[in-house]
Amino acid sequence: MILPADFTFSQSNLQDYRDCPYRFYLRYILHTRWPALVVEDALKFEQRGQSGARFHRLVQQYLLGVPEDRLQALVTSDADPDLSQWWENFLEMIPPLLEGERFVETTLTTSLAEHRILAKYDLILVQPDGHLVIYDWKTSQKKPRKDWLEDRVQTRLYQFILASSGGVLTNQGKVTPEQIEMRYWFAPHRTAPITLHNNTDQFEQDREYFTSLINEIANKPADSFFRTADEARCRFCVYRAHCDRGTLGGDFESLEDSDQQTEEFESLPDFDQISEIEF
């Protein structure tokens, strides 16, 4: 086994493996840093990432009870006009949906195939009727298809870990997959979140799928982490010159239009600062 015994699996490293085993090998086993841009317009990419991070922070503060007028002052003085639009959309669409106990930026872990797996949630809402709703905020312009979201590692892993360990949030020791749903909300759009439901069949499929995926990665010889055959995946990958898959990054607009909306692009908040709950 080439992985350290304490390696923790998360949605980002599992998604990397699924997209390209060689990218996983370079990033998480060799820890290769490669000085390439994800897109050619680095400044625009970085600014959009920072705006996304500021939006996540605003929502976090709102959910923790910081007064709205103080947050509005931050929005008004922000250099990016998109932030103001995202914030207006948020206030219009999301607060009416927030009845229940809030667990803001919470990390849950559990064990599978002798490894730790971890999920970092923007918000878990425990509703009065016992349902648990995972909210995930996105600032990417493109709203993906529901079936694409259903197949994402993030969707499957977040729901699986919450079904496995969410009892610590309800004080009932156990939750069922049927109690869980996941809502992706896209800030540039004044529309309702995209809602995905979980169930016991899906939970069992996900358990089998992640067990098999983790075993496959953990037992793979170093020379078997092959490059993806789908070269479209290389377009926004920092290792493309290393792999001889092109030297120029894609353009920013194409990234926004693509299905490759990476976590780097979203610039998620600093989860190292937040508490972790292990079941």
Binding site for ligand SF4 (CB under 6 A): 20, 22-23, 26, 227-228, 233-234, 237, 239-240, 243, 245
H or E element, residue 264 = helix 263-266
Residue 53 or 241: the one with the smaller Cβ distance to ligand SF4 is 241
Residue 45 or 137: the one with the smaller Cβ distance to ligand SF4 is 45
Number of residues assigned to the chain: 279
d(CA 105, CA 57): 10
Residue 148 CB burial class (10 angstroms; 0-12, 13-18, ≥19): exposed
Residue 117 or 234: the one with the smaller Cβ distance to ligand SF4 is 234
**Least distance from ligand SF4 to the Cβ atom of residue 19, Å:** 6
d(CA 155, CA 134): 10
d(CA 203, CA 129): 21
**Least distance from ligand SF4 to the Cβ atom of residue 31, Å:** 14
Q: How many CB atoms lie within 10 A of CB 154?
A: 19
Per the CB < 8 A criterion, the answer to whether 198 and 163 are in contact is yes
Strand ranges (E), the chain: 8-9, 101-112, 115-126, 132-138, 180-186, 194-197, 276-278
Residue 24 or 186: the one with the smaller Cβ distance to ligand SF4 is 24
Residue 239 or 271: the one with the smaller Cβ distance to ligand SF4 is 239
Q: Positive or negative, the Cα torsion across 46, 26, 161, 258?
A: positive
**Least distance from ligand SF4 to the Cβ atom of residue 255, Å:** 14
**Least distance from ligand SF4 to the Cβ atom of residue 247, Å:** 11
**Least distance from ligand SF4 to the Cβ atom of residue 157, Å:** 21
Residue 20 or 132: the one with the smaller Cβ distance to ligand SF4 is 20
**Least distance from ligand SF4 to the Cβ atom of residue 153, Å:** 16
Per the CB < 8 A criterion, the answer to whether 85 and 74 are in contact is no
